[in-house]
Amino acid sequence: MRKKFEYKWVILILCFLVIFCSLGFCSGTKSLYLNSITGYLNIPRSLFSINDSIRFITTAVLSVFFGALYSKFGARKLIALGFLCLTGSCLVYSFAENIFAFYAGGFLLGTGLAFCSSTMTGLIISHWFKTRLGTYTGLVLAANGLGTAVISQFLEPMIDSAPDGYKNAYRFTALLLLIIGAAVVILLREKPEAKKQPLPPKKRPQRSAAWVGMSLRDARRKPYFYVLLVWMFMSGAVLQSVSGVAIPHIRDVVLTGADPAFDSAFITTALGLHAIVLTAAKFLSGVSYDHLGMRWTMLVIHLIALGSTVMLVMVQSGAYTLAFIYEILGSFAMPLETIIPFLIISDLFGEKEYAHILGVSTAVLFLGFAAGTPLTNLVYDKLGTYRPALYVIIGLLLFMTVSVQWVLVKGEKVKREILARGAD
């Protein structure tokens, strides 16, 4: 007898496509546009980066209410709204002639990403899969890097084709978002219909198996919850800062005096390499969580983040090999701002009020996104280099490495106590 096809695999593909488009097309490519837009419109980088702050603040505010909005409207309607906003943001960017139009586009982008990124796909996956959450979440979030790698091959030549070439690049992206978004909304089912998903086996529980967990009210009584929120903020600020300025820093330092054609080819190749490795990094982070647990996974990724940032500080003019090595190593640090925050909430606080706790935590994460990039670009505008900001980031990474280990020790102790009471 043939085994019945399970629709959860279609759901996994659809979640992959959501991340492939939203984060891959609209977030991962942002560094491609920075030099072109600020140069063409003669806008200071720090002023332009407020666009990113508006985007992140919008996402942060909506994330606070994510649980309530999801309960009222469901995933399909919110994802449809998200794709429409992402499409609208690209169109606004393509016609913008002043900084305020870009700020309006940032608001639309933030709204779109609030409903079409990791928070939404993480919640959908938790409904359809009850074991190996790290592997499936990592597989879906790996679409970010793959989407960036694919779309960059088309966008970079468009951007470099003319002083205002970025306009056609945004319009091309808008068309793709509209087509793929429509297909996702048509095929999406929010939850398994009648049959309940099997719970993890009792005799050999997996590290990443879902558990009942605690309420948001109970979480607020735990000191480690607030330390985790501080870590979330720093993770957002640090990782977004580094990823946002890496390509401009390499252009300013490594490619000084390089032929423009070589400059374009190098950046396209480097960004594509970064995106492809990022795809593997997110998947491997999920697998690592499933097999090694959160503490070891976090320690390794933090150390990689430290090493890659030190390497970025060290790059000099003509150091093409070191720049390529950074793009590879830096990709393995990026899960700290993508897959890890969602896995750590599931791991420490469980399913009971996952959407609400995740919403609050994600809001703090996006506030970090909003703060980090403008401050880093402000340092550049004042000093003409990103290096002082990168030195500060290295210090913050050291603090993050220690603090999150404390959170995990305390959180695991509370989790064991709750599970022990349940067993009794």
Range 157-184 average pLDDT: 92
Q: Of all residues in the chain, what percent carry a pLDDT higher than 70?
A: 89
- What pLDDT, on a 0 to 100 scale, did the predictor assign at position 3? 64
- What pLDDT, on a 0 to 100 scale, did the predictor assign at position 89? 96
Per the domain annotation, does 1 fall within a domain? Answer: no
- 256: three-class secondary structure by DSSP: coil
Using one digit for the tens of pLDDT, what is the confidence trace for 118-133?
889 988 988 888 777 7
Using one digit for the tens of pLDDT, what is the confidence trace for 43-94?
887 788 788 889 888 988 898 888 888 888 999 999 999 999 999 999 999 9
The more confidently predicted of residues 318 and 322 is: 322
Structure tokens at 214: 């605690």
Using one digit for the tens of pLDDT, what is the confidence trace for 227-241?
999 999 999 999 888
φ/ψ of residue 374, rounded to 5: -60, -40
What distance in Å separates the CA atoms of residue 165 and residue 177, rounded to the nearest whole number?
Answer: 19
Closest CA to 339 of 372, 290, 409: 290
Average pLDDT, whole number, for the chain? 84
The residue length of the chain stands at 424
Domain count across the chain:
1
Would you list the DSSP string of 307-330? HHHHHHHH--TT-HHHHHHHHHHH
Per the domain annotation, does 400 fall within a domain? Answer: yes
Would you list the DSSP string of 5-41? PPTHHHHHHHHHHHHHHHHHHHTTTHHHHHHHHHHHH
Domain extent, residue 357, equals 8-194+206-423
What distance in Å separates the CA atoms of residue 412 and residue 400, rounded to the nearest whole number?
Answer: 18
Per the domain annotation, does 296 fall within a domain? Answer: yes
Would you list the DSSP string of 190-226? SS-SSSPPPPPPSSS--TT-------HHHHHT-HHHH
Per the domain annotation, does 200 fall within a domain? Answer: no
What distance in Å separates the CA atoms of residue 115 and residue 94, rounded to the nearest whole number?
Answer: 22
What distance in Å separates the CA atoms of residue 171 and residue 209, rounded to the nearest whole number?
Answer: 42
Flag whether pLDDT at 209 surpasses 70.
no
212, 371 Cβ separation under 8 angstroms: no
Q: What angle do CA 341, 206, 223 make, to 5 degrees?
A: 40
Flag whether pLDDT at 20 surpasses 60.
yes
Flag whether pLDDT at 27 surpasses 70.
yes
What distance in Å separates the CA atoms of residue 176 and residue 163, rounded to the nearest whole number?
Answer: 23
Per the domain annotation, does 123 fall within a domain? Answer: yes
The answer to whether the predicted template modeling score (pTM) of the entire model surpasses 0.85 is: no
310, 246 Cβ separation under 8 angstroms: no
Q: Which of 188-202, 240-254, 398-412 has the highest mean pLDDT?
A: 398-412
Per the domain annotation, does 98 fall within a domain? Answer: yes
Flag whether pLDDT at 200 surpasses 50.
no
Flag whether pLDDT at 258 surpasses 60.
no
- What pLDDT, on a 0 to 100 scale, did the predictor assign at position 204? 44
Q: For 305-311, which contacts have Cβ atoms below 8 Å and span 24 or more sequence positions?
A: 305/238, 305/239, 305/333, 305/336, 305/397, 306/394, 306/397, 306/398, 306/401, 308/242, 308/332, 308/333, 309/242, 309/333, 309/390, 309/393, 309/394, 309/397, 310/394
- What pLDDT, on a 0 to 100 scale, did the predictor assign at position 372? 84
- What pLDDT, on a 0 to 100 scale, did the predictor assign at position 233? 94
Q: How many other C-beta atoms lie within 10 A of the C-beta of residue 288?
A: 20
Per the domain annotation, does 267 fall within a domain? Answer: yes
Angular region, 350: left φ>0, alpha ψ -120 to 50, beta rest? left
Structure tokens at 220: 């607020």
Using one digit for the tens of pLDDT, what is the confidence trace for 362-383?
889 888 887 887 888 888 888 8
CATH code assigned at 341: 1.20.1250.20
What distance in Å separates the CA atoms of residue 166 and residue 96, rounded to the nearest whole number?
Answer: 11
Per the domain annotation, does 3 fall within a domain? Answer: no
The more confidently predicted of residues 31 and 348 is: 348
Closest CA to 308 of 263, 366, 252, 243: 243
Using one digit for the tens of pLDDT, what is the confidence trace for 290-314?
888 889 999 999 999 999 999 888 8
Range 412-423 average pLDDT: 81
Closest CA to 118 of 357, 347, 338: 338
- What pLDDT, on a 0 to 100 scale, did the predictor assign at position 271? 67
- What pLDDT, on a 0 to 100 scale, did the predictor assign at position 309? 92
- What pLDDT, on a 0 to 100 scale, did the predictor assign at position 28? 78
